[in-house]
Amino acid sequence: MGMSKPRRIGTIAAAAISVLMLAACGGSGGSGGTTSGATGGKVDGTGKTLNVLMNVTAQYPQEQQAWFKEMSTKFKAETGADIQWETFATANDEMTRIQTSVVSGQGPDVYGLGTTFTPTAYSTGAFVKLGDNEWNQLGGKDKFVPAALGISGPDEANQIGIPFVSRPFVMAYNTELLAAAGIEKPATTWDEFTEHAKKLTTGDQYGVAVAYKDNFDPWKYIWGMSIQAGNPIIDGTEVRLDDPITKKAYETYFGWVTTDKVVDPSSVGWANPQALAAFAAGKAAYFPMTSPLSIPALDASAVKGKYKYALMPTVPPGETSNPSAGKPATSILSGDNLVVADYSKQKDLAFAFIKMITDKDVQLNYFKVFGQLPANQEAAKELATNEVIAPALESGAKSVATPFSGAWGDVQLSLTNVVVQSIPDLSSGAVSDSNLSQRLKDEQAKSQTALDRAKK
Amino acid sequence: MASSVTEPRPSDSSPAAGAAAEPGETTPPGKRRKGLSEKNRPLWLLIPGGLLMTIVILVPLAMGIWMSLIDLDQYTLRQWVSAEFIGIQNYIEAALSSELLRSIWLSVSFAVISTVVTIPLGVAAAVVTQNAYRGRAVVRSIFLIPYVLPSFVVASVWRTMLQPDGIVNVTLTNMGMDGGLWLNGPNAYWTLVWVEIWAAWPFIYLLALSGLQAVDHEVHEASALDGALWWNKLRYVIFPYLKGPVSLAFLLATLNHINNFTLPYVLFGAPAPSDVNVLPILVYVTSFQSFRFGLSAAMAVVSLILIAIPLFIYLRAVRLDVHEGGKK
């Protein structure tokens, strides 16, 4: 048994390390940190460092670094505290960060979140719920565009997300092509939209540019047409993905390729930038599901000065007005929210920071540099006179939040998956009724399972 | 060849071997010598390595297995220590109501096909660049290009070329053929195999080349003296030398193919078309889009076991884990 001693030592060491690791990981959970309301008064952050995690703006990396620097200086002047900036590239990167931070109880104090990701973040229970005290620290709820608050929490009493910027969806249209086809105004119903698209399709010019292969676009169309006809997809404890309303939405969306032939057949392989490129080259008259972020690309293209934005149609396929249960949604509620981590030991500082970057001047400047619309009401009002982006601001005000459920991520995945699995059919020219029904049924089951877990 | 075996090898003069041959040590005849080296080996020297292995491999593995037994998702993540223990329910769900088994089949078949095709390619390339000739260095460098390109770049380039209106389809149309859809539908599987082969064959080439370079000069001379022509020489003299390196290459390449996440993810996106919903993509979507960490841990454990069984059999069959002379 000469070998047993070292082996035992090894075992004990390994066990000790495991225990230490577990303790390090699990030793948080509790709230901790100050929650004292420094209402109105100045927050003193001398010697402290605030850790902020934000979405990387791939389009403008240098401008973002400059903005970080500018904000750090401003924050230092206001509170005496420094800011440590971190960025993430995708929602998955961010979820990984949230997971590790939530489990270890340490990490960024402030997170920037995509709006549709807010319900998932909320379901982890790791972020500060905003009471009157917190809203006061931020400068009041009235400071924000009311619609932008639509996805801050499941209800008024349980909000975690503070609106930072808004990226509402609109459609771009080619003014020359529409005029040439004798169309005076962009379409306001989806049926009219399809009719226009047919008129606008000639030769190698198509009525619409659609990105069927995009990882996100497809579900936004389907959700939009569904909610306009009265199906919010998550309806209480039920998922209504196999509802006839939603099926009709898919049929319309697929019909542009298969029966109406108003889109480039290649678009079954396109992501959003490729659809944008087709529109920018003047090869498509309508480009739905875009945002003011496309301005720089369009202004540098063949359609400079020949395009405008308009609201996407708000009347569902097959109707001339919204049914009573339907909502004339112009867009999903899209943009970024800011949340404060529950484990943060400097919450006052975090709120002071968020107040600073949601103030009017900072928000207007942010729009100028990055093209993202302000969530600050006064700033938004000031921009409303800008003709190019006015439709986007209007879309933001009339956008409808996707259901606030931890299961939304799964539902979104299911809505997209129906399109992904239908692409071979789309490419061959027809999606059969039985195939579509079967896919809806499969995804309905998956989504319902996810929703059932959310309700536990 | 024989001379190299009978010559004293460097390892024979190691201290352990020397100690075993000490005259004072009595060993019963007929029995395998069990010298000092095996009795009082300083095993405690392994502690640093052992600790590292524990932290890097065993602890995460144990946590993975534990995660697969609890109901860990976005709702329980924060209180993960107290997440409900649900036994094998995750396993049942993974096996019965998820795509797991199909994904394993897709992954394994894709990996084996890719490896089986790349081996002859790699060996042929190694043979072609074995003898010195003008420009050999250039050829060798070109062969390595697919291997040094990051997977992400390879996948992005192929994705662009294989678009419905991409260069591949345009070329096929000009030749009077209908390209069709490469990145979705039944063709997608073969696209994945094709791109993987394109990117991975230089790995086999490298290992085969190292095998070829281990062939002693005398062997070439001896077979030339015996009058062996190129095929006989290759088949009966050179290939036996390659058995070890190529077996190892087969093993490593197959595992690499099974584990390749970047290629299918960048080529097809997530959610993936059902024909290419390979294991890494399935686990990724379950973990990071559905946030079912427990379920995805169960999937990972099941696939680990399913892959470990044939792996073990293969290891024994090609004796890669056995030293010369059959001693483990």
Token pair of B301 as six digits: 């454990």
Token pair of A170 as six digits: 């609109």
Domains in chain B: boundaries: 99-291
A-chain residue closest to B170, CA distance: A266
Residue B81 distance to chain A (closest CA, Å): 7
What pLDDT does residue A309 have? 96
Q: A426, A257 in Cβ contact below 8 A? A: yes
Per-residue pLDDT of chain A (456 residues; tens, 9 = 90+): 344 444 444 444 444 444 334 333 333 333 333 444 444 467 888 999 999 999 888 778 899 999 999 999 999 999 999 999 999 887 677 778 888 888 888 899 999 998 988 998 898 888 999 999 999 999 999 999 999 999 999 998 999 999 999 999 999 999 999 999 999 999 999 999 999 999 999 999 999 999 999 989 999 999 999 999 999 999 999 999 999 999 999 999 999 999 999 999 999 999 999 999 999 999 999 999 999 889 988 999 999 999 999 999 999 999 999 999 999 999 999 999 999 999 999 999 999 999 999 999 999 999 988 889 999 999 999 998 888 889 999 999 999 999 999 899 899 999 999 999 999 999 999 999 999 999 999 999 999 999 998 865
- Indicate the CATH number for domain A170-329+405-454: 3.40.190.10
A423 inside 8 A of chain B by CB: yes
Instruction: Please indicate whether, in this complex, the C-beta atoms of A420 and B55 are within 8 angstroms of each other.
Output: no
In CATH, what class is B99-291?
mainly alpha
Residue A390 distance to chain B (closest CA, Å): 34
Region B220-233: what's the mean pLDDT? 85
Q: How far apart are CA B181 and CA B187, in angstroms?
A: 7
What pLDDT does residue B320 have? 65
Instruction: Please indicate whether, in this complex, the C-beta atoms of B269 and A215 are within 8 angstroms of each other.
Output: yes
Which of A6, A18, A416 minimises the CB distance to B47?
Answer: A6
Q: How far apart are CA A283 and CA B183, in angstroms?
A: 24
Which of A14, A120, A266 minimises the CB distance to B164?
Answer: A266
Of A49-58, B35-44, B50-59, which gets the smallest average pLDDT? B35-44
Residue A349 distance to chain B (closest CA, Å): 24
Residue A13 distance to chain B (closest CA, Å): 8
Residue B174 distance to chain A (closest CA, Å): 17
Task: Give the best residue of A93, A127, A213, A425 to mutate against chain B (max B CB count within 10 A).
Answer: A213
Of A225-234, A342-351, B191-200, B229-238, which gets the smallest average pLDDT? B229-238
Mean residue pLDDT across chain B: 85
Of B75-79, B108-112, B125-129, which gets the smallest average pLDDT? B75-79
Instruction: Please indicate whether, in this complex, the C-beta atoms of B80 and A14 are within 8 angstroms of each other.
Output: no
What pLDDT does residue A111 have? 94
Q: How far apart are CA A256 and CA A217, in angstroms?
A: 15
Instruction: Please indicate whether, in this complex, the C-beta atoms of B272 and A268 are within 8 angstroms of each other.
Output: no
Region B137-145: what's the mean pLDDT? 93
Nearest CA to B8 among B17, B278, A348, B299?
B17
B-chain residue closest to A102, CA distance: B78
What pLDDT does residue B132 have? 85
Whether pLDDT at B18 is above 90: no
Residue A1 distance to chain B (closest CA, Å): 10
* Residue B44 with chain A: CB contacts under 8 Å: 6, 9
A-chain residue closest to B51, CA distance: A14
> How many CA atoms does the CB half-sphere of A91 hold within 13 Å?
20
CA distances (Å), origin B26, targets B13, B35, B52, B136? 20, 9, 38, 57
Query: What's A151's DSSP letter?
Result: G
Which of B51, B183, B186 minimises the CB distance to A13?
Answer: B51
Nearest CA to A316 among A223, A398, A243, A420?
A223
What pLDDT does residue A138 have? 95
Residue type, A7: R
Instruction: Please indicate whether, in this complex, the C-beta atoms of B184 and A17 are within 8 angstroms of each other.
Output: no
Nearest CA to A97 among A86, A81, A82?
A86
ipTM: 0.79
Can you name the residues that pair with A84 across neighbouring β-strands? Answer: A51
Instruction: Please indicate whether, in this complex, the C-beta atoms of A409 and B186 are within 8 angstroms of each other.
Output: no
Instruction: Please indicate whether, in this complex, the C-beta atoms of B51 and A7 are within 8 angstroms of each other.
Output: no
pLDDT in tens, B266-322: 999 889 999 999 999 999 999 888 889 999 999 999 988 888 888 888 888 877 655
What pLDDT does residue B322 have? 54
Which of B43, B77, B164 minimises the CB distance to A102?
Answer: B77
A-chain residue closest to B274, CA distance: A421
- Indicate the CATH number for domain A49-167+332-397: 3.40.190.10
Residues in chain A, total: 456
Q: A287, A370 in Cβ contact below 8 A? A: no
Instruction: Please indicate whether, in this complex, the C-beta atoms of A420 and B181 are within 8 angstroms of each other.
Output: no
Token pair of A284 as six digits: 């498509």
Instruction: Please indicate whether, in this complex, the C-beta atoms of B285 and A268 are within 8 angstroms of each other.
Output: no
Stretch 270-299 of chain A: residues touching chain B, C-beta under 8 Å: 270
Q: For the range A121-125, what are the long-range contacts, defined as Cβ-Cβ under 8 Å and sequence gap of 24 or more?
A: A121/A160, A121/A339, A122/A153, A122/A154, A122/A158, A122/A160, A122/A161, A122/A404, A122/A406, A123/A406, A123/A454, A123/B74, A123/B75, A124/A98, A124/B74, A124/B75, A124/B77, A124/B78, A125/A342, A125/B75, A125/B78
Can you name the residues that pair with A208 across neighbouring β-strands? Answer: A263, A286
For chain A, count helices (H), then strands (E).
Answer: 17, 12
Instruction: Please indicate whether, in this complex, the C-beta atoms of A17 and B59 are within 8 angstroms of each other.
Output: yes
* Residue A409 with chain B: CB contacts under 8 Å: 289-291
For chain A, residues classed under CATH 3.40.190.10 are 49-167+332-397, 170-329+405-454
What pLDDT does residue B37 have? 62
Instruction: Please indicate whether, in this complex, the C-beta atoms of A17 and B54 are within 8 angstroms of each other.
Output: yes
* Residue A270 with chain B: CB contacts under 8 Å: 163
